Structure 1
Amino acid sequence: MPLEASLPSLPSLSPLVVFAGNLGAHALPWFLSLLAASVLGAGAACHLLQKRHFRLQDAEEPSEPRIALAFASGFVLILLASSLFAWIASNISDGHALGQADHALTDAIAANLPRAALVVFSWVTHLGDAAFLGPVCVLVAAVLWRHRHRGLALGWVLALVGIVLLNPALKQIFARARPIHDHGLALETSYSFPSGHSAGAIVSYGMLLYLLLRTLPVRWHVPGAMAAAGAIVTIACSRIFLQVHFASDVVAGLLTGLAWLLVCVGGLEYARHRRLRRALA
């Protein structure tokens, strides 16, 4: 049944709420489209940036102005992410259109998503669990340390530990209740905003991609970018499909993780270029 027919108070609803309800009614096709666009877009972007990166490397080592520009760009991105996070946080109550849209999307997904899809997402979401990423963190750090990539090993561990500390602190500040569901496939007891799985996914798989770009041959770069994008999008969307998070929780988690990822990668790149300059001096 169309959302308009099921809501007698439709004239009082904002377009955002109506859109969210209609999106939830067709959430699976939209997800598959988003997943395909993200994977293909990440692969294309990696391919283009890779060609430019190696062309610059062949010409010369990055200069101070170029490094400064990169850090300024990262700083602006962090500010934008923080501003959007703050806007979401101030508009998630039920009295705001964003809060109403969250509920409309969740209710529409609960009414329309097939049980089989829920089961699949209940498996996939474990790729963002701390119980899974914790051993991965230790294993990757051990491999990097053994191959004498000790700076990368330290950066990798600090990146994951940092988001593990940051996200629960933010949850306690906002103390938002989770959506209510009865499918029995996922159980969460902590607060909802922001999504820890989404933040952890973008930091963990984003850092894995960075490590891959730094340590593996070029032929692995594009497939790695595509795999990382697919994992991040799927884990983040699984939290909405399983109705353990509202959509705004997931977006806020991705923004939090992106900001921290930029800080970590930026710090590692700055340290690498300083070391290169010292070696060439």
Structure 2
Amino acid sequence: MLQPHQQSLRLYLIISIIVLLSAGTLFALIAENVVSAGALTITDVNLAQWLHERSTPLLTHFLLVVTHLHDPLVLSSFAALIAIYFMWKQRWYAMWAVVLGVEGGMLLNLLAKQVFHRARPSFDHPLVTLTTYSFPSGHVVASTVFYGVLAALLISQAHSWRRTFCILLIAFCLVVLVAFSRMYLGAHYLSDVLAAFLEGIAWLALCFTVIQNYRLLR
């Protein structure tokens, strides 16, 4: 008979698998639409143009700060420091969650960009100029896995549903802010950031599934 903590781990495992399959399926649908130049790509172009036409100096400056703070290299550096801290504290599960979840997720996105080779939005007077590929958004993947792992670690120490909800809400709002900054600045289309969010969620679910499964088998 399973112990109470093992039952909790099994429940988390089941939820992780459901999230993985759901996010992975939605990502595949968006990717297929982008590759086949479906209806979503028309919305992409229209929304990108609409946002570009309504840019203001103050909002541009603010969102440039947001996007620079969430550069994948910046978040990767923070994640490395956090992993070192957990290693020093001998909190091995937390360390591997950070290493696999954050660093692994960013590496996966670099590979995805090379698969899809999607060009970035183009404007006569761009707010930012980038030469790398657009799909999926590296900033959004990085912020999703970074804040996702931090949220999971904080929730593991939370003792109420109210605190858990607040943690998830803050993490989600931060990711949405980063996603909006990338679209507003003309660095990405809507489908880029949606796919990146789903990619990050699917990757985190996979990582937590592996870690929880290992804990169940111990």
Distance in 1 (CA, whole Å) between partners of 2:86 and 2:37 is 49
Distance 1:77 1:134, change over 3 A: closer
2:172 is aligned to 229
Counterpart for residue 143 of structure 2: 201
CA-CA distance at 1:67 after TM superposition: 4.5
Q: For 1:61, give the aligned amino acid.
A: H
Task: Give how far 1:149 is off.
Answer: 0.6
Deviations 1:97-124 (A, max 9, x none): 2111100000011112323112111110
Residue 135 of structure 1, CA deviation: 2.0
Q: Is 1:177 paired with 2:119?
A: yes
Aligned to 1:61: 5
1:150 paired to 2:89: no
With over 3 angstroms needed to count, the CA separation of the structure-2 counterparts of 1:182 and 1:126, relative to structure 1, is farther
How many angstroms does 1:214 deviate by? 3.2
Displacement of 1:165 after TM fit? 1.7
With 208-217 and 154-163 compared, the bigger mean Cα shift is at 208-217
Q: Which residue of 2 aligns with 1:164?
A: 106
Greater relative contact order (CA < 8 Å, ≥ 6 in sequence) = 2
> Unaligned regions of 5+ residues in structure 1, if any?
1-58, 276-281
**Cα contact 2:97–2:149 (8 A) shared by 1:** no
1:24-66, CA deviations, whole angstroms, 9 ceiling, x for partnerless residues? xxxxxxxxxxxxxxxxxxxxxxxxxxxxxxxxxxx93343xx6
Q: Is the 8 A contact 1:125 1:239 kept in 2?
A: yes
- The answer on 1:108 being equivalent to 2:27 is no
The counterpart of 1:136, out of the listed 78, 86, 105, is: 78
Q: Please tell me whether the aligned partners of residues 119 and 185 of structure 1 are also in contact (alpha carbons under 8 angstroms).
A: no
Q: 1:144 offset after TM fit, Å?
A: 1.2
3-state SS in 1 of match to 2:5:
coil
Q: 1:256 to 1:96 in 2, by over 3 A?
A: same
AA paired with 1:266?
T
Deviation at 1:194, TM superposition (A): 0.8
Q: What runs of 5+ residues in structure 2 fail to find an aligned partner?
A: none
Letter in 2 for 1:154: W
Is 1:91 the counterpart of 2:33? The answer is yes
Q: 1:214 to 1:168 in 2, by over 3 A?
A: same
1:254 aligned partner, one-letter code: F
Inter-partner Cα distance in structure 1 for 2:42 and 2:78 = 38
CA shift, 1:190, in A, is 1.0
CA contact (8 A) 1:152 1:268 kept: no
Distance 1:220 1:74, change over 3 A: closer
1:135-180 Cα deviation digits (max 9, x unpaired): 2112211221222212311221122221122111111111110001
1:7-86 alignment runs, 5 A limit: 60-63=4-7, 67-86=9-28
Distance 1:222-1:76 versus aligned 2 partners, 3 A rule: closer
Structure 1: how far apart are the matches of 2:84 and 2:157?
14
> CA 1:183/1:143 → structure 2, altered by over 3 Å: closer, same or farther?
farther
TM-score, normalization: structure 2? 0.86
Letter in 1 for 2:143: A
Indicate conservation of the 8 Å contact 2:79/2:99, yes or no: yes
Contact 1:74 1:262 in 2 (8 A): yes
The structure with the largest alpha-carbon Rg is: 1
Between the two proteins, the alignment pairs up a number of residues equal to 215
> Offset of 1:182 from its aligned partner?
5.5
Q: Is the 8 A contact 2:141 2:200 kept in 1?
A: yes
1:221: how far off? 5.2
Which residue number corresponds to residue 186 of structure 1? 128
